[in-house]
């Protein structure tokens, strides 16, 4: 079944109250318990214990349970893993990834941990964040680093700082990197999660930016406040018009296939397999989001 990652909400790892709200009350697709930027330097240890408690005791329901550790360039990442592994997250989020080795050393650590605990190999996935200039340049090696990698995130704010760029509402200063991340993810058939929208008091601006991200090929976007979640869920879900068009297009394709026709004309346009695959993806997404029943899906 298609996995839905429209909204990815970060919560500070040292706040059990906020994590509990996200994990049990919000209609968010992925909850990220943060040990990096969301936690002060003198609260790292406390945050690890809070994340461990939350991961072991809370029922996340259909929400994915992710943990963001500190970058491999710091001295904290191994303790982050060692002290939270028993929470058994669906994925660890790795910030500031700049090389394949950044992911491979974590993959090696997890492989040993899974083996020691008798867990299924590679059951814990990795999500990498690209937020430095070096990370952008090394994307081809990063996305090929490990089969554990199931998604890539784009971090525009750190990237702009790394580049010395000036952030603008239009975002042209980071557009190359934004495109590079979603393209690299698509090449390896993994999800791409777009960057934050910093002003959580601007729902119209978030809606507009999320719409552009979906048009670019992103499957979801990072949320930094609960009120952003429903906007993102809506923006990255197929519209009723898209679902209706995809349903009719696939029905026309099936009819033409039965008649021995390959490419065919539909509503004044020539249709071939890339368009059919796009329609099938829309229907799979609609099924995953509950907008369409499985019984009505096209084979």
Q: How far out from the chain centre does Cα 148 lie?
A: 14
**Active-site residue list:** 272
Q: Say if CB 211 and CB 239 are below 8 A apart.
A: no
Q: Say if CB 66 and CB 127 are below 8 A apart.
A: yes
Token output for 14: 């040292």
First to last CA, the chain: 13
How far CA 187 is from CA of 45, 180, 181, 190, 210, in Å, comes to 38, 11, 10, 8, 21
Residues whose CB falls within 8 Å of the CB of residue 19, separated by 6 or more in sequence, listed in order: 11, 13, 31, 33, 50, 51, 54, 58
Measured distance CA(81)–CA(223) in Å, rounded = 24
Q: For tokens 């009120």, name the residue.
A: 227
Q: Say if CB 194 and CB 221 are below 8 A apart.
A: yes
Token output for 30: 């992925």
Q: Say if CB 217 and CB 239 are below 8 A apart.
A: no
Measured distance CA(142)–CA(180) in Å, rounded = 12
């Amino acid at each position: 079944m298609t996995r839905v990652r429209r909204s990815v909400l970060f919560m500070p790892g040292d706040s059990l109250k906020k994590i509990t709200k996200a994990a049990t009350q919000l209609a968010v697709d992925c909850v990220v318990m943060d040990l990096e930027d969301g936690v002060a330097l003198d609260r790292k240890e406390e945050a690890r214990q809070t994340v461990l408690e939350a991961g072991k005791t809370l029922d996340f329901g259909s929400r994915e349970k992710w943990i963001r550790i500190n970058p491999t360039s710091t001295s904290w990442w191994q303790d982050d893993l060692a002290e939270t592994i028993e929470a058994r997250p669906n994925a660890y989020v790795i910030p500031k990834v700049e090389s394949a080795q950044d992911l491979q050393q974590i993959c090696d650590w997890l492989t040993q941990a899974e083996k020691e605990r008798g867990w299924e190999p590679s059951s814990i996935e990795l999500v990498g964040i690209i937020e430095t200039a070096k990370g952008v340049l090394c994307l081809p090696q990063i996305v090929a680093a490990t089969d554990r990698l199931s998604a890539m995130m784009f971090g525009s704010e750190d990237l702009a700082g790394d580049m010395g760029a000036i952030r603008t509402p239009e975002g042209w200063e980071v557009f190359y990197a934004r495109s590079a991340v979603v393209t690299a993810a698509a090449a390896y058939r993994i999800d791409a999660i777009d960057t934050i929208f910093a002003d959580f008091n601007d729902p119209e601006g978030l809606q507009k930016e999320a719409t552009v991200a979906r048009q670019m090929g992103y499957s979801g976007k990072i949320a930094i406040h609960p009120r952003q979640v429903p906007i993102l869920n809506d923006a990255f879900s197929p519209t009723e018009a898209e679902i209706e068009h995809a349903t009719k297009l696939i029905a026309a394709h099936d009819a033409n296939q039965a008649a021995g026709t390959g490419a065919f004309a539909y509503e004044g346009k020539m249709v071939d397999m890339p368009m059919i695959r796009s329609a099938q993806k829309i229907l799979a997404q609609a099924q995953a989001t509950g907008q369409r029943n499985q019984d009505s899906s096209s084979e």
